[in-house]
Amino acid sequence: MVAKSSPFTPLAARRLGEIIGEVLPAGIVQVISGGDRVGAAMCNHPVPRKVSFTGSIAAGKAVATAAGEDLKRVTLELGGNDAAILLDDIEIDAIVPAVFARAFFNTGQTCAIPKRIYVPRSIYDLVLDAFVACAEAATLGTGAEATMGPLSTAPQYARVSDLVAEAIADGARAAAGGAPVAGPGYWFEPTILTGARDELRVVAEEQFGPALPILPYDTVDEALRRANGTMYGLCGSVWGTDLERAAAVSQRLECGVAYVNSHGAHRPSAPVAGVKWSGIGAEHGLEGLLEYTDPQILFQAPAPVATALV
């Protein structure tokens, strides 16, 4: 196996390769780093028969195209713009901090976390205030006492800044945060947006950062239509007190993994598979392991077959 890291994280990947090398025989796993040219060379090389990629949808399409030229098998775990639907029977004081913690985990730089929150209009103001309180209580820093760190790269910092500024210019309001933090580093305030239209990029695309739009809805059918009205389909969640009702709603989400009163808590034994543009194939679990195998059928007759098979 040859593992290529993100060009932004060569040292961590190299260290992982060193640890693997202490356990497995030399040459079983090799770790390399580099940019797009290295990835393209791996996909185009005739030796690998299987390519597994985790990253953006744009890069995933390029990987699939290159692999398809040689009919290599692919597993793609791509971007997500996960929707979380809050039902009208939620306990706001318990649910909102739980959703906030997941949405801003790793400063929002995780694939399978809530990135769009749909809230019943009847309780919208109360829920919005609760999200704002969570954002204002968040602490920025690099120590163990901090709840949020910086964005990982300059391009991602610029993207989040652009998405938030575009939304505010369009008429959305930053109920909390809404701006970069002055000083060195890629710091951005934990941001809660209200009044954002579904067509805005901060809603329609994956932000991958600390900016969370809170969107009102009038009926559950409407919330599902808007949640499903995208080419993303990684994960989704429904939050409510009536578990049977919440489960019934979650099963109508068009995504690979649906949660009830949780989001992103994967078990290694359970497969993870995105739908639509969020992926091809499965990771984890037996299904994920089988992605790396080729079935062979053995037919053994008890004696030579004398007649031709039709």
Please give the positions annotated as active site.
77, 111
CB atoms within 10 A of CB 200: 19
CB atoms within 10 A of CB 155: 11
Cα–Cα distance, 212 to 167 (Å, whole number): 11
Helices (H) then strands (E): counts for the chain: 10, 12
Name the E strands within the chain.
Answer: 2-4, 30-32, 50-54, 73-77, 83-86, 116-120, 173-176, 191-194, 211-217, 235-239, 257-260, 279-280
Cα–Cα distance, 217 to 122 (Å, whole number): 9
Tokens describing residue 48:
């690998």
> Contact at 8 Å (CB) between 82 and 110?
no
β-bridge partners, 117: 84, 214
Q: Specify burial of residue 28 (Cβ count, 10 A radius: 0-12, 13-18, 19+).
A: exposed
CB atoms within 10 A of CB 173: 12
> Contact at 8 Å (CB) between 81 and 167?
no
Give residue 39's identity as a one-letter amino acid code: G
Q: Is 26 helix (H, G, I), strand (E, B) or coil?
A: coil
Residues 6+ apart with CB under 8 A from 217: 85, 118, 119, 120, 121, 223, 226
Give residue 61's identity as a one-letter amino acid code: K
